[in-house]
Amino acid sequence: MEGYYVIGIDGGGTKTASVILDSHGHIIGTGESGPSTFGIAPSDITQSSIAEAVSDACRSGGPPTRRFAAAFLGLGNVVSEMDRSAVRQLAADIDLAPLDKIGVDHDCRIALAGGLSGRPGIVLIAGTGTSCFGKNARGDSWRSGGWGPLIDDEGSSYWLGLQAMRAAVLEFDGRGQPTLLTRFVYEKLQLKDMNELMNRLYASGMIRTEIAALSPYVFEAAAQEDVVAFQLIRRGCQSMADSVLAVAQKLKLDHERTELAVVGGLTNAGDMLLHALAEAVHGRLPQCQIMQAELSPALGAALLALQLSGQRLNEKILANIHLEAKQQKNYE
């Protein structure tokens, strides 16, 4: 089957990214639109964001049709078969691809496909939330974490921001250690008195991303040798490493040389986070090889779409994708 196109969709809480590939692995177009996290954005908004991201990719590259041979959508909060069926129908309603050629799963799966270019292994998503997902050579898969901010997400930027505020109020009360985080909370939230924090949290209602925006100050305080901040980073990394270990054990990868791709906005914190994470992971999995993602989650979704179309991911196709992804990055 020659001369056809597939599309990959990466849907998140702030944006939706799309990538169109041809059957040889050439990047034909890329697009972007608003949020499409399943179950948080209303279904009509999710569908509209998907359609807009597809249209944007078509405008940038110009395939002759907007109905693809196959499509794969990786969206946040897709965890059950009911979720997958609902998203698949949203995609079918905009005639994205034949129904049996529309793949849907959680964002961890496309992050793994992109992070390791389709190879088996593990991916850790460290962003506003945290989650871990792996797949072994037999095709077995497992997810750990990703249960949301109310009961999980320890180590995420949201969790770090929340802990920064907690450390500040503990010091204010006289229950906690002195910490630079108190000053940063005052400055970032423009508080004149710590008691104003309750109004900001409960009356005004700080949204998740506002709380997550405090996380860089935890790293800034730790860089200035703040013990409280450093302990928070270490605790978060230990928790994320527990998720990696759980996935490795479930898939029987804990005694093998396993690749771990780390993705997400929190990785922008740099060496302080990565060193603490590496220490925590290697304390549990000495043979684990930690690496940066090779391709974006949207390209991971496109790889899965190619496989869904019946195309085998051979060395030539992967070389095309890697070369063109690198060229695009250099032009950004």
Please tell me if the domain spanning 5-117+295-331 has the same topology as the one spanning 118-293: yes
What are the pLDDT digits (tens) for 178-225? 999 999 999 999 999 999 999 999 999 999 889 999 999 999 999 999
The first and second tokens of residue 36, run together, are 């499409």
Is 1's pLDDT higher than 50? no
Question: In this structure, which amino acid lies at residue 102?
Answer: I
Whole-number percent of the chain with pLDDT over 70: 98
Whether the CB-CB separation of 92 and 86 falls below 8 Å is answered with no
> Which residue in 213, 219, 239 sits closest to 151, CA to CA?
239
* Rounded percentage of the chain residues whose pLDDT exceeds 90: 83
Q: According to the model, what pLDDT value does residue 301 have? A: 98
Beta strands in the chain (DSSP E): 5-11, 16-22, 27-33, 70-75, 102-106, 121-126, 130-135, 141-145, 259-263, 289-292
Phi, psi for 12 (deg, rounded to 5)? -130, -170
Those residues with Cβ within 8 angstroms of residue 274's Cβ, 6 or more apart along the chain or in another chain:
262, 267, 290
- The sheet carrying 259-263 orders its strands as 141-145, 130-135, 121-126, 259-263, 289-292
The SS3 assignment for 38 reads strand
- Measured CA to CA, the distance from residue 222 to residue 210 in angstroms comes to 20
Per-residue model confidence (pLDDT) at position 35: 87
Q: In what order do the strands lie in the sheet with 16-22?
A: 27-33, 16-22, 5-11, 70-75, 102-106
Q: Is the pLDDT of residue 65 over 70?
A: no
For residues 215 and 206, give the distance between their C-alpha atoms in angstroms, rounded to a whole number: 14
| Average pLDDT value for residue range 134-158 | 94
DSSP 164-233: HHHHHHHHHHTSS---HHHHHHHHHHT-SSTTHHHIIIIII---HHHHHTTHHHHHHHHHTT-HHHHHHH
Task: Report the chain's mean pLDDT, rounded to a whole number.
Answer: 93
pLDDT tens-place string over residues 271-300: 999 999 999 999 999 999 999 999 999 999
Q: What is the pLDDT of residue 330?
A: 55
Identify the CATH homologous superfamily for domain 5-117+295-331: ATPase, nucleotide binding domain (3.30.420.40)
- What tens digit of pLDDT does each residue of 225-266 get? 999 999 999 999 999 999 999 999 999 999 999 999 999 889
Q: What is the pLDDT of residue 209?
A: 86
The pair of structure tokens assigned to 204 is 């005004």
Are 185 and 191 a contacting pair, CB within 8 Å?
yes
User: Quick one: tokens of 151?
Assistant: 């009961």
Instruction: Count Cα atoms within 13 angstroms, Cβ side, for 61.
Output: 25
Residue 98 pLDDT class (50, 70, 90 cuts): very high
Q: Which CATH superfamily is domain 118-293 in?
A: ATPase, nucleotide binding domain (3.30.420.40)
Domain boundaries, the chain: 5-117+295-331, 118-293
Provide the token pair at 211: 């709380």
CB 5 within 8 A of CB 27: no
- pLDDT at 63 > cutoff 80: no
**Per-residue DSSP letter, 139:** S
Asked if residue 153 has pLDDT above 60, the reply is yes
pLDDT above 60 (res 331): no
Q: Rounded to the nearest 10 degrees, what angle do helices 227-250 and 271-284 cross at? A: 40
Neighbours of 128 (CB within 10 A): 25
- What's the rounded mean pLDDT across residues 39-65? 86
Q: How far apart are CA 244 and CA 102, in angstroms?
A: 29
Give the closest residue to 307 by CA, choosing from 122, 131, 105, 133. 105
Q: Match 């997958």 to its residue by tokens.
A: 84
The identity of residue 223, as a single letter, is: A
